[in-house]
Amino acid sequence: MKHIQTFESFLNEARAYGLFNDAQGKPSKLSQEILDFCQKGLPKNVVDNIAEVEAAGYGKTNMITPPSMSNKGQSRGELDYTTIYIHFSNPMGRNKIKGMTVGLRKRTSGPGTGYVAISLDGVPGGTFAGEFYNKPEDELEKLWNENVKPLL
């Protein structure tokens, strides 16, 4: 019977809704979806380092858009993203990154299409965006490996 965990071992008062804290109230389905693809697309050491997540709340966050193919690779500027903020247990990398913002913007031009963006705390030029067609976690993994990993 020693291997059975008690309720007290699951209780974490700092996180009211699973990994989400209650700073922005109960997380929306979209905030939960963003966390879900973060857990699938980010490396295991990053996912294991998540202390808590702050939900999107009511407002949107301006983040960069990915380069478009039609404008010779030039970005179109910034758009409104629905974002979550991920707090890390331990600072990561040589820049001692304490957290990051992950944003999602779904487009209406087709099902399952949109933009995903990452912004690292305290890193100049640490914001990256990409366009996905089916799975945002695949684009998030690509952004992490190509852009974020070299900064760590």
pLDDT tens, 83-136? 999 999 999 988 899 999 999 998 766 666 889 999 998 888 889 998 888 889
pLDDT on residue 106: 84
Q: What is the pLDDT of residue 65?
A: 83
Q: Can you give the pLDDT at residue 1? A: 45
How far is the C-alpha of 65 from the C-alpha of 25, rounded, in Å?
A: 28
Structure tokens at 58: 């009511």
What's the mean pLDDT in 132-144?
Answer: 91
**Token pair of 118 as six digits:** 């990452």
Q: Are 95 and 69 in contact (CB under 8 A)?
A: no
Tell me, what's the pLDDT at 15?
A: 52
pLDDT at 31 over 50: yes
Stated as kind and residue range, the H or E segment containing 78 is strand 78-92
Q: CA-based angle 81:84:90, to the nearest 5?
A: 140
Res 21: pLDDT: 82
Instruction: Indicate the SS3 state at residue 46.
Output: helix
Would you state the structure tokens that stand for residue 16, as one six-digit string? 């009211």
The Cα 62–Cα 46 span in angstroms is 24
Q: Are 128 and 143 in contact (CB under 8 A)?
A: yes
pLDDT at 3 over 60: no
User: For 47-91, what is each residue's pLDDT tens digit?
Assistant: 999 999 998 888 888 888 887 655 555 556 788 899 999 999 999
For residue 17, the 8-state DSSP code is B
- With a cut of 50, say whether residue 6 has pLDDT above it: no
Average pLDDT score over residue span 22-51: 90
pLDDT of residue 7: 43
pLDDT of 149 > 80? The answer is: yes
Query: For position 5, what pLDDT does the model report?
Result: 44
